[in-house]
Structure 1
């Protein structure tokens, strides 16, 4: 179904027959997962559709993706499947160019539930721009692995720019950077498997950094307004959990301990965030 006849390079062949066939394939894959008790919440129809290299990839124009998601929406509706469809799934830099031909079309916009982004080129602010232009679309950060305290600040920026989710990539490689399938050398991972003793593994500091968000922010939480702060002192992002607790993740990228004051609903508290660290505060509104 690809012009290259190979997993590497090429693009989906033109024509309704090919988009319809691929839509049916995706629908059957979703059903197969469901039969195993795995409900797929959302799907993107092509990872990094503007990437075409000597690696499993497939170029897909926005016009072709629009036709594909329209066909897939029809398949999902006809088979009573609730899986959502997210478009794009590539870098901030190219988001406007790619999303508009899909979402400015009535059928394309109706078929799409959200916009997915990767963070390798461009800035997270484009997510806010697209959310303002298409408020019915949810926003998702579907790929980027980042490291150190600065990474926590970058994740905070994702959420401050309407992202409803963040997916790290990759989760685990072994201690000799295997078994990675990529064209270069990947960054460290949250978990590292012992290359000679595969039943053994250890966690990197990024596991605990990620947990400052994942352990405390509940499914269904709403981001609430807070002043961003400054990288020269501290930055933050705040949420209201469904259980009524406020969660504030505070990031100190500096080499010195930083004092903070949190004011909420007429109450306040003070604390100190150690140098080069991430701190999470959880408190009730009452």
Structure 2
């Protein structure tokens, strides 16, 4: 740091402020220090800084599975947001309360400053005591005073999808639901039911799914012959549903209009291109990391709820 300070013509304290991303450095000076750091090959020594500050500048991510597209997208978004803020990321997979408790212990052993709990893992985490002194943010959860909460307004997205299908005049909209215990799945089902109720319609029994394309295929095979509109709780299951409908000789959208949820990268290349509800995974990841950084600093973090958008394509 002394070498960087000399090369940039600033004090060691100024270099320290730049390294720690302090706002108390003007942009011109910050750029000069950054250039000197790059020229000299300077990198902060994470272990030494942890000894001095009592912080590791590492955050944990607790997730039940990375097999789903949504969780993988969130991992990518959180990793990118953490890197921009100078934090390393360590990932622990856990399913069920005992595994979550063990996951918390493993994160504490690794000296993380805080943790983000993702999607399905939040249900199990609510049954486990949060380790003292560990800042925690959850993505997709009902209100809980122990955590800062960041989420998509899944119900609003489902209402928009269902209202669009209703506007096509196809009668009742059927729903291929996500797994039991998933907060996102239950909120999407709630939005679907509310949209049907607003239209004066009863909700058919949801078709069960588990986020996978295979479950979407199996569920859609049992869609009644007179069903002409289907809202699917995620795009992976919608892919399976499209295959099942094609196997039955039912054209999309002529015979059955289909809307998914998430807007995965390949949704526009489905056959037909999928109308879906877009989640902004990058914004969710950035909001989760920002909330966690605030909690680590001892600051309050207000709940963040992001509104998704309906993307219309050829399937509905």
Structure with greater proportional helix content: 2
- TM-score, length-scaled by structure 2: 0.27
- TM-score, length-scaled by structure 1: 0.29
Structure with greater proportional strand content: 1
Structure exhibiting the larger radius of gyration computed from Cα positions? 2
